[in-house]
């Protein structure tokens, strides 16, 4: 281990899809809130969601007033020949004094480092930097200060990475929707629907989703492909395509992943010991009720661990996908 | 892509346990709102229209960002179906001529999507007190038609920070304080009533639910058998 | 002249089959560049390491340019060490993880299709680092490819045949489909030398699984599009190895590139070479990847 100092208190980085959610997150105890502009420059380019420039300015004022930071995700990959929308997003994040921009594309990071040296840069999970060499590349070449780690690593692997990359900070997901593929390295959505996280900021877009009620229950489809069938009383999930039921080797199963949410409350002490700087909650698309409940839970969890108290028992079942929870890749058995 | 257009008729029978459409969740068989629904039954929905006109004025005045967030869906009206009330609400989000219409039914093609849920669920959702995804996962909310416009509406409404009681009392001016107190009392009463009804409902329908489950299991077994037979017949596909 | 590149074998074949395959490819006239090396799963490499030197020697002796392809997902010290060995091998290396590009910086390397290269900004950075050829991600449409080709000094390669690599994960789905974990996988991915078919509950072909990699069910075929792509500035096309006569597959693409064979006729012959395969070309037309846009005759 690089250091024997007691770990410092990790920042809680919380999602906000709207100004109301930003207020909910800040009021519930978020240290940082991350947001995106209302266009395809961010990976939650969902209908009716996200911030215009005025809303971002107001959101930053509200957060700064309460001692919280605002990070702006500009984490899709600019279209060839048309980088202007992305360049403008970075310029506006800098102009509005966002505390950092979260970027994924090498070309865009290079642009930001050259033209907006005052803007702190975080590496988005979409860049999938999963090892010290990759992290050093972004830190040394472009001055990236923090890396959001892909959700493919075990706690042990995260600890090993942290020991080698200081002073670069790491941020890990602690709650929410779970990508089972290495983020930013998955084109399943565009293969099926024509739109992908990397190019359009969406996965399994709502416009391609159809629910059909049958005598047996509900069938969910994505671009005409059946993603799942639910019995009448079974909890139904959104047809994110890697969380459907498919047939392989003559057997129907949740081949890739079940409809489930990441929840690391129980392993927070391990993640803190692993030297992680910031804990990220997924779910800019999930609304105020979700944001408030999850932020409160993790605020209580982090504060308890730092004070040496036992972890609080908090039931987040009702806001998880399919009512199921997992610690995901953080534990090796998941693989 | 072309969106499926929806149609919905509120049958005259709001009888507990009767499912009017194949898609709608069965209305909660007994609930305080349902009693209200039965009481409203003889009323023509048009008589409620002024209430919804006032609500739209309130939205335009206090939450203009809802319609702004819906700008891409200007030509996609959404039907909101409180399953325990005898009418539906048709929201036309067009920024120039938005409308909130109360109807007994909607015609084929009138709505791009329908959202079904109990009044309590819908109000909690509008106020951002519950998580829309969680409601959907639990099937307390059922959507039909163009999923994208429903997601947009959900996000727009959630982002507005609506508090119906706050919003309405603000509209009422000096009467607002009295309304707020009244609403508080009513909410408490409704909550207690609901708990009582839940107990009654559970004991009444438990046997029926069990039967449906058994049927479901039998259907699943048959389906599996059919699939095996089909598989055996099928030519060897690629790979 | 447009080069034909044989991409690295993505599947888990037995060492003998692996060696025999590449020996045959050494004699395939239509193929100019051959990639060798494990991309998908580091657990497979110990089996291939013994045969790789003779494969490389044989390919080089036949005049093929040999490129060593790296792993796509590097998560631990062992995998990083493997990548460093590759970087120091003296061979031209294909980086499929950005860390490998970083290790190669200042030397010539190939930027692989599993890096995220979507625009001229990223292309310029990689070019400055030493990239001499880039194989673009599958998602890109012809317009974007043309934009990039117009600005690049390095060679631009496009994936033109085979199941497309669409995603990579820490989790192994070949093992999961059999109720096994990745640690105790028993190397079951070897049971599916062309990938494991994945269907929807309605038994509609959907995806394919190659261990930790998820691929398209459909075989990409750009026989109808390669002519246009070359006009847009594409300098090489990549064929992904499958259980078929890849020398003949390459021959069909070469004949179409040379104008000796009509694309439609070539596709009929390709269909005969990969019986049961369904073709797709949607991405290149800016549509969902699984779709097939008919050729204009």
For chain A, the average pLDDT equals: 93
CB A71 within 8 A of CB A93: no
Q: Do B155 and A208 touch (CB under 8 A)?
A: no
Q: Residue A240: is its pLDDT beyond 90?
A: yes
Q: How confident is the model at residue A216 (pLDDT cuts 50, 70, 90)?
A: confident
CATH of the domain at B121: 3.30.1050.10
Tokens 């999507």, located at residue? B113
Q: How confident is the model at residue B239 (pLDDT cuts 50, 70, 90)?
A: very low
Closest approach of B64 to chain C, Cα-based (Å): 36
A225-231 and C236-239 strand pairing = unpaired
Cβ of residue B97 closer than 8 Å to a chain C Cβ: no
SS3 C221: strand
Q: Residue B206: is its pLDDT beyond 90?
A: no
Going from the C-alpha of B234 to that of each of A57, B237, C203, the distances in angstroms are 60, 8, 10
Closest approach of A285 to chain B, Cα-based (Å): 7
Q: Do C196 and B239 touch (CB under 8 A)?
A: yes
Closest approach of A2 to chain B, Cα-based (Å): 42
Binding annotation of C for [4Fe-4S] cluster: 41, 172, 185, 189
Q: Phi, psi (5° rounding) for residue A247?
A: -105, 125
Q: How confident is the model at residue B214 (pLDDT cuts 50, 70, 90)?
A: low
Q: Do B238 and C203 touch (CB under 8 A)?
A: no
Residues 194-253 of C with CB under 8 A from A: 196-204, 206-207, 209, 214, 216
Closest approach of A226 to chain C, Cα-based (Å): 6
Confidence at residue A1, expressed as pLDDT on a 0 to 100 scale: 42
Q: Do C97 and A251 touch (CB under 8 A)?
A: no
Cβ–Cβ pairs < 8 A, chains A and C: 219
A28 vs B37, residue with greater confidence: A28
CB burial of B202-214 (b: ≥16 within 10 Å; e: otherwise) equals eeebeeeeeeeee
Tokens in use for C264? 């439609």
CB burial of C202-231 (b: ≥16 within 10 Å; e: otherwise) equals eeebbbbbbbbbbbbbbbbbbbbbbeebbe
Residues 134-163 of C with CB under 8 A from B: none
Q: What percent of chain B has pLDDT over 90?
A: 17
Q: Residue B65: is its pLDDT beyond 50?
A: yes
Q: What percent of chain A has pLDDT over 90?
A: 79
Terminus-to-terminus CA distance in chain B, angstroms? 32
DSSP annotation of A51 reads B
Which CATH fold would you assign to the domain A11-178+260-334?
Answer: TIM Barrel (3.20.20)
Q: Residue B213: is its pLDDT beyond 60?
A: no
CB A43 within 8 A of CB A89: no
CB B95 within 8 A of CB B74: yes
Q: Do B216 and A231 touch (CB under 8 A)?
A: yes
Residues 90-149 of B with CB under 8 A from A: 128-134, 136-139, 142-144, 146-149
Q: Do B230 and C217 touch (CB under 8 A)?
A: no
Q: Do B133 and A288 touch (CB under 8 A)?
A: no
Q: Do C197 and B236 touch (CB under 8 A)?
A: no
For chain B, the average pLDDT equals: 73
Tokens 């999850």, located at residue? A294
DSSP string, C182-217: STT-TTGGGG-TT-EEEE-TT--EEEEEETTEEEEE
Confidence at residue B16, expressed as pLDDT on a 0 to 100 scale: 35
Q: What percent of chain A has pLDDT over 70?
A: 97
CB C98 within 8 A of CB C117: no
Q: Which chain A positions have a beta carbon within 8 Å of B138's beta carbon?
A: 235, 318, 323
Residues in Cβ contact with B38 at an 8 Å cutoff, skipping those fewer than 6 apart: B14, B86
Nearest by CB to residue A107, choosing from C121, C283, C286, is C121
CA angle A234/A236/A238 to nearest 5° reads 165
Q: How confident is the model at residue A228 (pLDDT cuts 50, 70, 90)?
A: very high
Tokens in use for A208? 């391609």
SS3 A72: strand
- CA A190 to CA A203: how far, in whole Å? 8
- Spatial strand order of the sheet with B88-92 comes to B99-103, B88-92, B78-82, B113-117, B142-145
Confidence at residue B191, expressed as pLDDT on a 0 to 100 scale: 63
**In whole angstroms, what separates CA A319 from the centre of its chain?**
16
Residues 6-65 of A with CB under 8 A from B: 17-21, 23-24, 46-49
Cβ–Cβ pairs < 8 A, chains A and B: 127
Cβ of residue B232 closer than 8 Å to a chain C Cβ: no
C60 vs B231, residue with greater confidence: C60
Residues in chain B: 239
- CA C260 to CA C242: how far, in whole Å? 24
Nearest to A329 by CA among A147, A126, A151: A151
Q: Which chain B positions have a beta carbon within 8 Å of A18's beta carbon?
A: 155, 158-160
Tokens in use for C275? 């019986």
CB C61 within 8 A of CB C79: no
Q: Residue B2: is its pLDDT beyond 50?
A: no
Q: Do B155 and A48 touch (CB under 8 A)?
A: yes
Residues in Cβ contact with B89 at an 8 Å cutoff, skipping those fewer than 6 apart: B52, B79, B80, B81, B82, B100, B101, B102, B103
Domain boundaries, chain A: 11-178+260-334, 199-253
Cβ of residue B6 closer than 8 Å to a chain A Cβ: no
Residue to test with chain A: of C86, C102, C151, C232, most A Cβ within 10 A: C102
Average pLDDT over residues A154-167: 94
- CA max distance for chain B: 76
Q: Into how many domains does chain B fold?
A: 1
DSSP annotation of B25 reads P
The tens digit of pLDDT for each residue in B110-157 reads 999 999 999 888 888 888 787 777 777 667 888 888 989 998 998 998
The tens digit of pLDDT for each residue in A26-57 reads 999 999 999 999 999 999 999 999 999 999 99
DSSP string, C79-97: HHHHHHHHHTSSSEEEESS
Q: Residue B4: is its pLDDT beyond 70?
A: no
The tens digit of pLDDT for each residue in A256-283 reads 998 888 999 999 999 999 999 999 999 9
Of all helices (H) and strands (E), which one includes residue B101?
strand B99-103
Residues of chain C with pLDDT below 50 are none
Cβ of residue B237 closer than 8 Å to a chain C Cβ: yes
Nearest to B78 by CA among B11, B37, B126: B126
- Neighbouring CB atoms inside 10 A of C188's CB total 17
Q: Do A236 and B131 touch (CB under 8 A)?
A: no
Q: Residue A295: is its pLDDT beyond 90?
A: yes
Nearest by CB to residue A232, choosing from B128, B148, B212, is B212
Q: Do B238 and C276 touch (CB under 8 A)?
A: yes
Q: Residue B12: is its pLDDT beyond 80?
A: no
Asked which of A247-256, B24-33, C232-241 is least confident by mean pLDDT, the reply is B24-33
SS3 A333: helix
Q: Do C116 and A77 touch (CB under 8 A)?
A: yes
Domain boundaries, chain C: 3-285
Domain formed by C3-285, architecture: Alpha-Beta Barrel (3.20)
Q: Do C198 and A247 touch (CB under 8 A)?
A: yes
A48 vs B163, residue with greater confidence: A48
Closest residue of A to C83, CA-based? Answer: A133
Q: Is residue B149 included in any domain, yes or no?
A: yes
Domain with B117, as residue range(s), is: 6-162
Q: Which chain A positions have a beta carbon within 8 Å of C208's beta carbon?
A: none
């Amino acid at each position: 281990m690089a250091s024997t100092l007691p770990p410092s208190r990790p920042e809680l980085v919380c999602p906000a899809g709207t100004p109301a959610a930003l207020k909910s997150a800040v009021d519930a105890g978020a240290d940082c809130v991350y947001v995106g502009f209302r266009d395809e420059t961010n990976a939650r380019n969902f209908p009716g969601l996200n911030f215009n420039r005025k809303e971002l300015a107001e959101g930053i004022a509200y957060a700064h007033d309460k001692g919280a930071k605002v990070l702006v995700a500009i984490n899709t990959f600019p279209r060839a020949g048309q980088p202007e929308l992305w360049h403008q997003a970075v310029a506006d994040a800098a102009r509005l004094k966002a505390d950092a921009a979260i970027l994924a594309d090498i070309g865009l990071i290079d642009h930001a480092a050259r033209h907006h040296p005052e803007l702190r840069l975080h590496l988005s999970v979409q860049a999938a930097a999963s090892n010290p060499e990759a992290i050093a590349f972004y830190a040394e070449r472009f001055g990236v200060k923090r890396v959001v780690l892909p959700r493919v690593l075990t706690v042990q692997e995260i600890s090993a990475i942290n020991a080698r990359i200081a002073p670069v900070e790491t941020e890990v997901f602690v709650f929410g929707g779970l990508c089972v593929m290495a983020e930013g390295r998955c084109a399943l959505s565009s293969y099926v629907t024509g739109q992908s996280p990397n190019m359009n900021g969406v996965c399994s877009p709502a416009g391609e989703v159809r629910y059909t009620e049958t005598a047996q229950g509900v069938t969910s489809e994505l671009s005409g492909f059946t993603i799942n069938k639910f019995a009448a009383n079974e909890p139904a999930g959104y047809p994110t395509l890697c969380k459907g039921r498919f047939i392989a080797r003559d057997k129907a199963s949740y081949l890739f992943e079940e409809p489930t949410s990441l929840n690391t409350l129980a392993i927070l002490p391990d993640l803190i010991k692993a030297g992680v700087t910031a804990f990220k909650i997924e779910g800019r698309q999930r609304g105020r009720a979700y944001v408030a409940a999850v932020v409160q839970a993790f605020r209580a969890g982090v504060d308890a661990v730092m004070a040496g108290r036992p972890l609080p028992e908090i039931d987040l079942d009702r806001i998880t996908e399919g009512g199921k929870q997992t610690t995901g890749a953080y534990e090796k058995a998941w693989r | 892509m072309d969106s499926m257009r929806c149609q919905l008729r509120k049958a005259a029978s709001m009888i507990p346990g009767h499912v009017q459409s194949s898609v709608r969740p069965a209305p909660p068989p007994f609930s305080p709102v349902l009693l209200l629904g039965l009481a409203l039954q003889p009323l023509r929905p048009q008589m409620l229209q002024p209430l919804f006109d006032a609500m739209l004025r309130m939205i335009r005045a206090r939450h203009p960002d809802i319609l702004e967030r819906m700008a891409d869906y200007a030509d996609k009206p959404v039907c909101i179906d409180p399953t325990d009330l005898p009418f539906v609400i048709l929201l036309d989000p067009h920024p120039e001529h938005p409308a909130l219409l109360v109807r007994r039914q909607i015609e084929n093609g009138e709505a791009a999507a329908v959202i079904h849920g109990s009044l309590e669920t819908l109000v909690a959702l509008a106020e951002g007190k519950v998580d829309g995804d969680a409601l959907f996962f639990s099937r307390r909310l059922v959507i039909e038609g163009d999923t994208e416009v429903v997601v947009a509406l959900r996000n727009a409404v959630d982002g507005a920070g609506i508090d119906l009681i706050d919003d309405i009392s603000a509209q009422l001016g000096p009467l607002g304080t009295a309304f707020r107190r009244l609403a508080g009392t009513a909410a408490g009463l409704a909550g207690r009533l609901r708990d009582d009804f839940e107990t009654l409902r559970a004991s009444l329908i438990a046997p029926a639910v069990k039967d449906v489950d058994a049927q479901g299991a039998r259907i699943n077994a048959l389906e599996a058998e059919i699939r095996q037979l089909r598989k055996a017949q099928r030519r060897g596909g690629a790979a | 002249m447009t080069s034909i590149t044989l991409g690295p074998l993505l599947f888990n074949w037995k060492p003998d089959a692996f060696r025999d395959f590449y020996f045959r490819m050494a004699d395939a006239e239509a193929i100019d560049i051959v990639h060798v090396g494990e991309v998908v799963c580091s657990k497979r490499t110990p089996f291939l390491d013994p045969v790789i030197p003779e494969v490389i020697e044989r390919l080089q002796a036949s005049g093929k340019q040999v490129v060593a392809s790296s792993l796509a997902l590097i998560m631990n010290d062992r995998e990083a060490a493997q990548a460093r060995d590759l970087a120091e091998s003296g061979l031209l290396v294909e980086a499929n993880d950005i860390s490998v590009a970083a290790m190669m910086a200042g030397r010539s390397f190939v930027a692989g299709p599993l890096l995220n290269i979507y625009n001229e900004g990223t292309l310029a950075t990689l070019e400055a680092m030493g990239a001499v050829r880039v194989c673009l991600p599958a998602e890109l449409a012809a317009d974007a490819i043309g934009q990039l080709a117009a600005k690049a000094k390095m060679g631009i390669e496009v994936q033109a045949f085979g199941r497309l690599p669409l995603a990579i994960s820490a989790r192994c789905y070949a093992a999961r489909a059999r109720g096994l974990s990745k640690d105790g996988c028993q190397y079951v991915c070897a049971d599916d030398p062309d990938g494991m078919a994945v269907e929807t509950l309605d038994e509609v072909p959907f995806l394919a699984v190659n261990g930790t990699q998820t691929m398209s069910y459909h075989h990409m075929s750009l026989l109808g599009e390669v002519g246009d792509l070359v006009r847009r500035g594409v300098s090489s096309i990549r064929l992904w190895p499958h259980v078929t006569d890849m020398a003949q597959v390459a021959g069909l693409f070469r004949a179409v590139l040379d104008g000796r064979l009509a694309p439609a006729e070539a596709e009929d012959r390709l269909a005969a070479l990969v019986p049961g395969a369904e073709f797709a070309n949607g991405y290149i037309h800016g549509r969902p990847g699984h779709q097939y846009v008919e050729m204009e005759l």
